[in-house]
Structure formats: structure tokens, C-alpha cells
Amino acid sequence: MDSLTLNPLAFVNGEVQLPGSKSLSNRLLLLAALAEGETRITNLLDSDDVKHMLNALSLLGVQYELSTDRRTCLVQGTGGPFNTDQALELFLGNAGTAMRPLCAALCLGHGEFTLTGEPRMYERPIRDLVDALIPLGAEVTYLKEEGFPPLTLHSRGLKGGQVSIRGNISSQFLTALLMSAPMAEEDLIIQVDGELVSKPYIDITLHSMQLFGVIVENDNYQRFVIKAGQRYRSPGEVMVEGDASSASYFLAAAAIAGGTVRVYGVGADSVQGDKAFAEVLAKMGADVTYGPTWIEVSKTGPLQAVDLDLNAIPDAAMTIATTALFASGTTCIRNVYNWRVKETDRLYAMATELRKVGAKVTEGDDFIEITPPEQIMPASIDTYDDHRMAMCFSLAAFGTAPITINDPGCTRKTFPEYFDLFRSITVSR
């Protein structure tokens, strides 16, 4: 297996132009495909998760043209649901933002669609979404384990009406239902059962739908009403914001190491909840300034531990776990049970690898508590095929020991060029 050894790093300085947001790229591609008219999407992310969505759309008969750098995509909308005469199989890797929204969207049309993916995708739940689709007329066969992909959809349209959906495992189930709702036969009223996790991702969904002309009534994230007969209409051109989760590693680097880093593409005006990561750094003691489309972080003094519920920013919250290696006191990240059902069991993986660099860690069912070591120890970090494990642990190299990242190529899921950009702002000891 490939590995990358990062020699101890002294400080950071520079600017980073962020690649496009994964969450927005995959939502906008799907909506552009369902919409009437032609949409030019700019600053599209070029990464595995987006390739899976693009490949799926192509197999579904959607015509699009990608620029040579794959960052601009001209999509010819189909103006309606996807239908097929022959059974189609779509491989969606480990992309939650492709698997969940496509599972709902493909129920809108007619035909047989099988959704497959990488082995880890077969351990990531989808039952809460399927259980909400069945009363609307979906017919779903699980091909391996009940409640998990792979699955086959025998589609013949979705009725409207009232439906409830559980929101305590993944917001992507609600996102999927919302995005398909305007194409149901009648009005759809969605009731969220219990707690809704990762709430800001629903704002990304509603914002994306609005860009394509669809209005959703949102009653405090517990009840949503989507009128039937609304059509997705192309806005013409739409630019993908920079990825706020990807921004977190560079911003944390500045807070840890000293120097100043400014990221472009995400700022005070961003629709992405993960922009709030910078507020967590500010609570830890970093100096943070915002422009409409940029965030800048500098270090003005030592970092302090925090004890926070980070359910709203589950992806960027992982970056706090390795930032905690440089904060005095014990940091606690709470209410992140669903870390366990993402690219890997992230609570277990994070706890295991943090211990390798000498941290004292308590892994709770839905929290992690980290007390930094006096000195970070040299370590060989396993990344569990999880892009965020690789990116988070690059920050451990701001200690005085070399850190080896195993399988650094796993960042291809959302950020293939991460280590090049990281190197471009860091200065060795």
C-alpha cells in the first residue's frame, strides 16, 4: 500500500482556492438532469463521488459535456423522471450523495434500476429512506442484507400524500425525499420522526431546489410540504461554492501552527453548514475573519480545548479531533453517533489512530474525548479508506515527529489534490 511521510512541519502561510463542494456538485448535477432546459455548472468538484454521479446520469441517458478540466459541465435536462426499458445497473462507489438521492429519484420513473457500490456502501444503512418510499408506491428488493445496498428498484412513479421519515441516522434520507418530491403525482407532506441530524445539509438541499425554481414549505425542519406540479427549471448557469469541509484542514493548520491561511470559495455568504467550523476554531482561540466568499485564520496564542455538540457539522468535526492534539485541556466532541455509519466507523478509527500519536482518548457511543500528549509521537496512521482520516491526520505533522499517512490516495473521494495543496502552504521545520 502507498504511504506518505510528512516530516515535522513548522508553520503555514498562503491562500487556497477550494475545489467545489461535493454536496452541491452532486445535488446540482441531479437537479440539472431532472430539470427542463440546459444548465451550465461551473466549479464542479472533480473527485470520485462526483464521477459516480456523472457515470450514473450518463447510463440513465442524460446528455452532458464536461470541460477538459472536468470543472464545467453543460447538462441537457430531461425535464422529467428517468425511465428505462432494460434493467440498468448503476455503480455508485461509496458516495452517499449519489446513492441516497438516486434511490429516491429513480422511483419517480418507470423501469428496473439496480444500485450497487463499494463493499463499505453495503454497510451503510438506507432502510429509513426505503421505508419512506414504500408507502408512496416504491417497490424495492434488497439484494444482500435487509436495509442496506445493493438494491433493485422496480419503479412505476411515486404517489404523493403524507409520509414520515426517520432523521436520526442521516439527513441524506430526507434530502433524497425532498429532491424527488416535486415530481410525485400529488402534494407531498413529509414528517420527520424524532431528531434530525446534520440539519444544515437540509439547507443545502432546499437552496439547491430553490435555484431550480422549486419552493418547499419548511416547518421548523419537522414537517415539509412540497406542492405537486412544480417543475425543476434550469437557472441557466450555476456556480458550485468551494467545499467548506475541505476548507477545514487548511484553516485548522493555521490555528495550530501559526501563520495565516485564507481559503477562497467559502465565506460568510456560504450555504454550507461546515463554514461554522471556523467558529469552533475561534472558540479554541484562533483569530478568524470572514469575507463574503473567503475565510482567514491566524494564530494569535495557544489553543484551548472545547466541549461541544458538533452534530450540525459532522464532517468538519473530525478536523477538530486532530486539532485537539494541539489544544491544552481535554476536548470533547459530542452527539456524533452517525460517524459510525460513514466511510468507516469514524469514532473507532479516530480513537485508534489518535492513541498512536500518544493522545489519551475516550471513545463513547456518540462522543469522543481527546487529551493531547505532551509530545506527538511518530506514527504510521491507517486511514480505513476514509478520505477524512487521511486529511485530518496530516495536521499531526505540526508536532515534532514524522507522521506517515497510509493510503493517502483515499482522498480521491472528495479531494484528490489535497496533499499537493497542503504542501503548498506548509513550511518544514
Ligand X SMILES: O=C(O)C1=C[C@@H](OP(=O)(O)O)[C@@H](O)[C@H](O)C1
Ligand Y SMILES: C=C(OP(=O)(O)O)C(=O)O
Q: DSSP string of 341-381?
A: GSSS-HHHHHHHHHHHTT-EEEE-SS-EEEE--SSPPPEEE
Q: What SS3 state is found at 14? A: strand
**What φ, ψ does residue 428 adopt, rounded to 5°?**
-75, 160
Pattern 321-340, binding to ligand X, x per CB under 6 A?
-----------------x--
Active site residue 309: no
For Cα atoms 341, 343, 349, give the angle at the middle one, nearest 5 degrees: 85
Q: Per this entry, what is the length of the chain?
A: 429
Choose the one of ligand X, ligand Y, none that binds residue 201, judging by a C-beta under 5 to 8 angstroms depending on kind. ligand X
The interface with ligand Y within residues 321-380 (CB under 6 A) comprises 342-343
**What φ, ψ does residue 54 adopt, rounded to 5°?**
-60, -45
- CA Rg, the chain, in Å? 21
Choose the one of ligand Y, ligand X, none that binds residue 171, judging by a C-beta under 5 to 8 angstroms depending on kind. ligand X
Among 46, 48, 315, 369, indicate the residue that binds ligand X (CB under 6 A). Answer: 315
Pattern 31-70, binding to ligand Y, x per CB under 6 A?
----------------------------------------
Nearest approach, Cβ of residue 95 and ligand Y (Å): 5
Count of residues in contact with ligand Y, rule CB under 6 A: 9
Is 132 within 8 Å of 173 (Cβ atoms)? yes
Nearest approach, Cβ of residue 3 and ligand X (Å): 25
**What φ, ψ does residue 94 adopt, rounded to 5°?**
-125, 35
The catalytically annotated residue of 46, 274, 315, 407 is 315
Choose the one of ligand X, ligand Y, none that binds residue 39, judging by a C-beta under 5 to 8 angstroms depending on kind. none
Alpha-carbon distances, residue 126 vs 100, 129, 132, 172 (angstroms): 7, 6, 10, 9
Pattern 283-322, binding to ligand Y, x per CB under 6 A?
--------------------------------x-------
Nearest approach, Cβ of residue 301 and ligand Y (Å): 31
201 binds ligand X (CB under 6 A): yes
What span, in angstroms and rounded, lies between the C-alpha atoms of 372 and 355? 9
274 binds ligand X (CB under 6 A): no
Nearest approach, Cβ of residue 213 and ligand Y (Å): 25
Nearest approach, Cβ of residue 117 and ligand X (Å): 15
User: Per the annotation, does 360 bind a ligand?
Assistant: no
What span, in angstroms and rounded, lies between the C-alpha atoms of 255 and 11? 10
Pattern 340-369, binding to ligand X, x per CB under 6 A?
------------------------------
Choose the one of ligand Y, ligand X, none that binds residue 371, judging by a C-beta under 5 to 8 angstroms depending on kind. none
414 binds ligand Y (CB under 6 A): yes
Q: Is 306 left (phi over 0), alpha (psi -120 to 50) or beta?
A: beta
- 146 CB neighbour count, 10 Å cutoff: 8
What span, in angstroms and rounded, lies between the C-alpha atoms of 40 and 235? 9
Q: Is the dihedral of CA 38, 44, 47, 48 positive or negative?
A: negative
Known binding-site residues for phosphoenolpyruvate equal: 22, 96, 124, 172, 346, 388, 413
Known binding-site residues equal: 22-23, 27, 96, 124, 170-172, 198, 315, 338, 342, 346, 388, 413
Write out the catalytic residue numbers. 315
Residue ranges in contact with ligand X by CB under 6 A = 23, 96-97, 170-172, 175, 197-198, 201, 314-315, 338
